[in-house]
Amino acid sequence: MYHLRRITIAAVVLAVVIVVVTVLPRALNPVPPNKEKQEADRQWINTSPYWLDRQACRWFSLCGLLHLRKDPPAKPKNKDDGHRHELRRLLGEEGVAILREESDNKKKGQLKGIPDYVLNYAPLVHLYSQEFFWPSDIADHIKHVVPDLDEDKWTFNKSQPLTLANLNELSSELGFQHLNSKDDVESRPRWLHSKMNRPIAFNDEDDDKEHDDDEEPGKQLSDDTTWFDVDRDHPLHRISDPRKLPAGTPQSQRLARRSQVFHSREQQRLMSQEAQDAQNAQNAQNKPDESGYSRAPVTLVLVDKGSGIVDAFWFFFYAYNLGQTVLGTRYGNHVGDWEHCMIRFESGVPRAVFFSEHEGGQAYAWHAVEKRGNETEIQRPVIYSAVGSHAMYATPGNHPYVLPFGILKDVTDKGPLWDPSKNLRGYWYDYTTTKDNEGLEPVKENADEPTSWFHYRGTWGDKLYGLNDKRQWRLFGQYHYVTGPQGPKFKNLGREKVCQTWRCRIIHSIAEGRKGSWHS
């Protein structure tokens, strides 16, 4: 009887464990997987060559236990261990750029420029002080990845490698959906870190240049129009002129004066790529300057929503996303990382800022976000980029998400301050176009920038590694390596609300945002 009781207790404990790690998560999942996803998961599990590993994965959600190990951000460069893509030899290191750019047939004067107010109110980004993976140039990134194609299917001319000017055309022709790293990412090749793109922080005179409109309620703009929910099919409902402060003081004159002061400086920020190359040639080390310049250009996408509403999307690209750790185990790594913020303008007046945080992101009213500038400058919003994941937040510090008790969190601080307006690729996008490969055109300040890459529907990083890959594991549904992200076109640029998803509530204070109060 004694042994029978022990066996019974063990069986009950085993049953409870199975329910907790398998049945319960599935029952609580608000979006249960469809048959296609279930089949894809079954095939992924079957990639493991070990029977015990497959059973542990199916029944206990413990996948790849033999692969578990530490995953530090920086590692010494390792020799090729078999994970390098076989197509590397087909592409070469540099390649010859293709000049099939859509803007070649357009005159500069036919393109729209960047409105002064977009640059005047451009965000400033505090990167983490101990970041390991700095901003990257998508034009450089594409030199280090290859399409997920078998060698016998690779029919592309070897003298013409992938470029921003032909990415979508080749993807449509050849059918590839992922761009896989040529190198084993765990060898930490230099291009993943992009250390040369690290901005040098502003000469910070502490907080005398920082500004938070929460402390100055008199400068808050009133919600006298429906700017928070608008597109071309749902025009703005205007009650009064948004360019006036609640007290009736006109703001347009002040903006005009400031715009004149900033105009010449902003024109310098929009240096042509040729001018940048000439400057870099004079500076052998290609170091960023002291004013927040980075060699990695950001992507600015301007979207006209009608009724005087313009959304300015600032997209920041990194070659690698280092996932966060839970109990010493890292989850969520992937090649390629797109993050963004969006500033919504009404008649040239900033109304709100969206931050691409984890858990859907958050939207703040303009007066609520931290800003930087002095009395003679236009106040610019400050954004904090989390270490590794590069998620964007309105404050420095710890930002827990998903799991309770702060087990899983992003961390931000006042590291190097990046001024994205100093080096960018700018575009206007018409989200109402019905054709897949149209709607985007470069701004006149960079009329020769290619547009093909924007329409590429695939991912900018490796496809989900299989269970037969020694770098991969999955514990309780969370993967060590996940599939890379899609590009800016697929971030709901035509959104009516400020947030990326349909759930959106505008936060009116930093304190409220720190509580993680974003909800529908």
Quote the CA–CA distance of 313 and 200 in Å, as a whole number: 24
pLDDT at 287 (0 to 100): 37
Of 61, 51, 53, give the one whose Cα is nearest residue 331: 61
- Angle between the N-to-C axes of helices 51-60 and 35-45, in degrees from 0 to 180, rounded to the nearest 10: 140
**Where is average pLDDT lowest: 230-239, 335-344, 380-389, 491-500?**
230-239
Task: Write down the pLDDT at residue 520.
Answer: 31
- Residue 464: the pLDDT is 94
Nearest to 69 by CA among 470, 468, 476: 470
Average pLDDT for residues 500-508, to the nearest whole number? 82
What's the CA gap between 462 and 185, in Å, rounded? 10
* C-beta separation of 390 from 135 below 8 A: no
Q: What is the pLDDT of residue 25?
A: 59
Burial 13-49 (b: 16+ CB within 10 A, else e): eeeeeeeebbeeeeeeeeeeeeeeeeeeeeebbeebe
Point out the least confidently predicted range of 16-20, 140-144, 147-151.
16-20
Q: How much is the mean pLDDT over the chain? A: 78
Overall size of the chain counted in residues? 520
Inter-residue contact 256 to 264 (CB < 8 Å): no
**Averaged pLDDT, 414-440:** 93
Beta strand segments in 423-500, E: 424-429, 440-442, 474-475, 478-479
Provide CB contacts within 8 A for 404, sequence distance 6+. Answer: none
Handedness of CA 177, 182, 185, 188 (dihedral sign): negative
Nearest to 181 by CA among 254, 317, 82, 83: 83
Of 7 and 483, which is predicted with more confidence? 483
Residue-wise pLDDT tens digits, 163-185: 999 999 989 988 899 999 999 99
Which residues neighbour 297 within 8 Å (Cβ) at sequence distance 6 or greater?
137, 423, 424, 425
Question: Cβ(311)–Cβ(344) under 8 Å?
Answer: yes
342/397 Cα distance (integer angstroms): 22
Indicate the SS3 state at residue 376. coil
**Minimal CA–CA distance to 340: which of 487, 467, 139?**
487
Please state, in angstroms and rounded to a whole number, the distance separating the CA atoms of residues 303 and 309.
9
pLDDT of residue 27: 59
Residue 379 dihedral angles phi and psi, to the nearest 5°: -75, 125
Does pLDDT of 336 surpass 70?
Answer: yes
Closest by Cα among 335, 389, 328, 382 to 359: 389
Q: What are phi and psi of 298, to 5 degrees?
A: -85, 170
* Rounded distance between C-alpha atoms, residue 390 and residue 480, angstroms: 17
User: Which letter, b or e, does each residue of 96-110 get, where b requires 16 or more Cβ atoms within 10 Å of its Cβ?
Assistant: eebeebbbeeeeeee
- pLDDT (0 to 100) of residue 316: 97
Give Cα 374 distance to the centre of its chain: 29
Q: What is the pTM of this model?
A: 0.77
**What pLDDT, in 10s, does the model give residues 191-217?**
999 999 998 765 554 444 455 444 443
For residues 425 and 297, give the distance between their C-alpha atoms in angstroms, rounded to a whole number: 6
Burial pattern 153-184, b for ≥16 Cβ within 10 A else e, equals ebebeeeebbbbbbbbebbeeeebebbbbbbb
CA 32 to chain centre: 26
Pairwise pLDDT comparison (265 vs 336), residue with the higher score: 336
- 375 pLDDT band, cuts 50/70/90, is low
Interval 81-106 mean pLDDT: 40
Query: pLDDT per residue over 105-147, tens digit each?
Result: 445 558 999 999 999 999 999 999 999 999 999 999 999 999 9
Query: CA nearest 419: which of 311, 510, 290, 312?
Result: 290
DSSP string, 329-366: EEE-BEEEEEEEEEEEEETTEEEEEEE--STT-EEEEG
Which residue would you say has higher pLDDT here, 6 or 31? 6
Helix (H, G, I), strand (E, B) or coil at 379: coil
Rounded CA-CA distance 407/409 in Å is: 6
Query: Once rounded to an integer, what is the mean pLDDT over residues 450-463?
Result: 96
- pLDDT over threshold 60, residue 518: no
Q: How far does the chain reach from its first CA to its final CA, in angstroms?
A: 56
Q: Which comes out higher in pLDDT, residue 37 or 430?
A: 430
For residue range 24-52, list pLDDT tens digits in order.
Answer: 556 555 556 788 888 999 999 999 999 99
The predicted pLDDT at position 216 comes to 43
- For the ranges 30-34, 191-195, 272-276, 505-509, the lowest mean pLDDT is seen at 272-276
Region of poorest pLDDT, from 2-6, 251-255, 403-407: 251-255
Q: Is 472 in contact with 481 (CB distance < 8 Å)?
A: yes
497 vs 80, more confident: 497
To which residue do tokens 């042994």 refer? 3
| Over residues 474-488, mean pLDDT | 91
Residue 174, SS3 per DSSP:
helix
Q: Which two tokens stand for residue 430?
A: 């018409």
Tell me whether residue 329 is exposed, middle or buried, using C-beta atoms within 10 angstroms of its C-beta: 0 to 12, 13 to 18, 19 or more.
middle
